[in-house]
Chains A and B, each alone.
Chain A
């Protein structure tokens, strides 16, 4: 019994240690973002909001944040729309080459982002999109749409194949069936996908670095700043980015958790 307890305590301690190791850098970033001293060293020089004041006074950072928010917003809507459409095609139709189709849709996240970034730059340079926020958004949609598809697909797997027929049988046109049955059913997955794809875009650095040109997104701006000097302002930006991304991911996780919870209850 006590050996059992000991083993249990050791396991908990080990798990805590792993988490500490993973989160220490993030925690230190947040902690030192409030440090009055400009060097991230102990002892702490006292609480201060000066680095936050500094970044909110910096026009280039504000531009970067605005750009990131615009790109993340546009990406989440477009990627979710495309992901939903791709998942619906997979759910609804049977056709030759379907496996190739789903593999192709799921492919982009498996391509190294450096390659994706270079490819995007080359291609968008030719069609006149490089250096624009539209260009960054296009790149992010390519990267994020597969996540949207995966989420919606998971939800559609639970949709009774007779439901659409039942809807048509009761007098609903295909459009009414889509808006009144399929989309409401997929809504939790669609919302989760909006949050998750926004987070993917908000954090993404490599494609944005290649494509954005003068319209830097926040991660690109951060790297540019790091190359000039190591400033505690980075910690403040890091803390903000962390909060935004975590909020989006946690919201997505809650929705996904609900989807899975419902599924296991029904099974």
Chain B
């Protein structure tokens, strides 16, 4: 039962999980390569955590198959698997010291006391918690507990680490630090990370590939950039944020182009080859907020829409400008703080929103 080492390390094949009449996971398939950082992302209740729990063996699939190196592992007990999980609320053993927590898994594997002590120490040092080795876990801060949870899982030296919302219980300033630390750990260890998150900024910042889920199904799988620039459907386009969705009626417009008319105005975009969009039918054009430029007057190039500034939202060094067209459609445009400082805007200003035709794309009908 060794299985072939070719093909993906872990295969999720038509996986399903039902609790009575409730469907947690409807039909999920994807593969994970060795050493990949995969993020399972979606709103709460989309089935991402259930999928992770099934990989760990904590939930039993109602249908489909999970294969590790080609071998079906559906029936393997959780304690027989090598897929340690970092829990959302850490799930540390409250009556054990930090060191004993980290040693726990090694003890289950029958390592002699001296050996597991040494190994645990190694990982505690690596994660910067060696100074707390003898403390009880209830004396630690959230960030320190997170490190204990990581050390406890990594001490097993697994080929795959599972993380359930690893950053959600942390303070915002710790979150960013831990995020880069996870990325660094992943790069250094070279093992597979499977991380569940509801935050697209986390998923896109850390993962090699993102699996976007909704209502128990996969909506899109791809590299973060790919998903950002080419959402596969309306759910993804809205969920990842930072997109403008313009609905309107399609009309032919020259070689390889399609014209859309709607409350936002009129725009041109490349006619998609793989989607049967009818002329005269309803279509949705997607344009990323950071691809739209602002100007004071028409230049005659690309798509240009007249609008009025409604409000500006400042988040760190980036600014979202909300506009409204004469037809009542809303536009959002991402600018840097510097750009806004160079050309100040205030609510009520009339502006021209402008983007090249090939920056827009149509959602599949």
Chain A positions within 8 Å of B, measured between CB atoms, are 160, 162-163, 165-173, 176, 181, 184-185, 187, 266
Contact = CB atoms under 8 A, between A and B. Distances in A.
A172 B79 contact: yes
A160 B79 contact: no
Interface in B111-157: 138, 152-153, 156
A169 B85 contact: yes
B108 interface: yes
Contacts of A169: 56-58, 78-79, 81, 83-85
Contact of A165 (B78, B95, B108): B78
A21 B105 CA distance: 58
A170 B58 contact: no
Contacts of A166: 85, 87, 91-93
Contacts of A187: 95
Contacts of B57: 168-169
8 contacts: A165-B91, A166-B87, A166-B91, A169-B83, A169-B84, A172-B104, A173-B77, A185-B93
Contacts of A168: 57-58, 77-79
B106 to A, nearest CB: 9
A162 B89 CA distance: 9
Interface string B43-56: 00000000000001
B109 to A, nearest CB: 6
Nearest to B149: A166
Given A165-B58, A169-B58, A169-B78, A160 B109 contact: no
Contacts of B83: 169
B94 A170 contact: no
Nearest to B155: A170
Given A170-B152, A171-B105, A171-B109, A163 B91 contact: yes
A170 B87 CA distance: 12
Contacts of A171: 79, 105, 108-109, 156
Given A169-B58, A171-B156, A160 B108 contact: no
Contact of B105 (A170, A181, A185): A170
A176 B108 CA distance: 8
A167 to B, nearest CB: 7
Given A162-B87, A168-B58, A185 B79 contact: no
